[in-house]
Each structure stands twice: as structure tokens, then as C-alpha cells.
Amino acid sequence: MKSSTFRIVPIRTEIAEAARREAKAGAADHAVVTADSPGGFPCRHCLRWAEPGESMILFPFASIPRGRPYSEIGPIFVHAEPCERYAKLDEFPSDFRDGRVLRAYDSQYDMIAAEVPNEDGPEAVVERFLRMPETAFVHVRSVTRGCYTMEIQRV
């Protein structure tokens, strides 16, 4: 029985549903695109790569809220059709073990550490960041495009 020290936090279902409503309403900042490659369209709600042919919504998401030095709004995908929110909250999603950078933030939303996992895997970095008492949460991002993937919190 493995006891995890962290909890995966996918985007909330309300955010995915709001993005679907906005896209249907034709909002200019909500683009509907068709995935055309197996590793280019990560859904931040079910935390898996879209299959080629699946319809995705691309929209801006505030991973760090306004009014902070590290405030950040950037593009994320969700499935255009309803999908099930990632539920294995004590397991790092297998689709995103590679090609990610992990960033630790404190309670003031200031970035205090960042690291690309080595062969020990992302859990080793997550656990080390969460052992630092000043860490409030960890963000996972694409190491190439920089886009936000998910948050990780301490259990």
C-alpha cells in the first residue's frame, strides 16, 4: 500500500464546462481545434493526451492569479466533449511523466524552485519540493512550450 505525500489537482470541472460553453458561443479566445498528432494536445481535465481526431478547445487559463509578480495566463486545451476529471489523485499521470518542468511556489505565489526531473522520475522532485516548508503548491508545465499542465498540492 503506497502512501503518497501529494495530491494531483487537475483543472476544476466547472472551468472545463465554462470553456465548452464559451467555445459554443463563439468566443474569440476559445478556439476549437482537431488534434492531429498523438502527443500535442494535452487535456488538463482528464490529464491525458488527446487521440488524433478528437476535438479540443484551446483557451487562456490563469494558472497564477492576477495582481502578483508571477501572475500568469496561458493557453491550455480541454476536450470539447465532456470528459472525466482525472481521478487517480495520488498518482502522477502517466501521460505526463516526461517533457515536464516542475515549479514550486510559496503562499504568496512566488516561484521558489524549478527543476526538470531526471531518471528518478517526477515524484522525487515533487516530494523534495513539498518537504520544503515554504512550498505551498507545485505547478507542472511543458518543458518545451511552457504551457501549464496541472497543480500538485501537499496531502
Distance CA 139, CA 125 (A): 12
How big is the site for Zn ion, counted in residues (CB under 5 A)? Answer: 5
The H-assigned helical ranges of the chain are 13-24, 122-131
Residue 112, judged by CB atoms within 10 A of its CB (0-12, 13-18, 19+), counts as middle
Q: Which stretch binds Zn ion (CB under 5 A): 3-11, 43-51, 91-99, 144-152?
A: 43-51
Q: How far apart are CA 55 and CA 78, in angstroms?
A: 9
Using CB under 5 A as the binding rule, whether residue 46 contacts Zn ion is answered as yes
Which of the stretches 22-30, 44-52, 119-127, 141-149 binds Zn ion when contact is defined by CB under 5 A?
44-52
Residue 84 Cβ vs Zn ion, minimum distance, rounded to whole Å: 8
Binding status of residue 43 toward Zn ion by CB under 5 A: yes
Q: Under the criterion CB under 5 A, does residue 139 sit at the interface with Zn ion?
A: no
Q: Residue 78 CB, nearest distance to Zn ion (Å)?
A: 6
With CB under 5 A as the contact rule, the residue among 20, 30, 79, 141 that binds Zn ion is: 79
Nearer to Zn ion, 56 or 101 (CB): 56
DSSP E strands, the chain: 6-9, 31-34, 42-43, 48-49, 55-64, 72-79, 100-105, 111-115, 137-142, 148-154
Residue from 6, 8, 19, 45 touching Zn ion (CB under 5 A): that is 45
The terminus-to-terminus CA distance of the chain in angstroms comes to: 16
Binding stretches for Zn ion (CB under 5 A): 43, 45-46, 79, 83
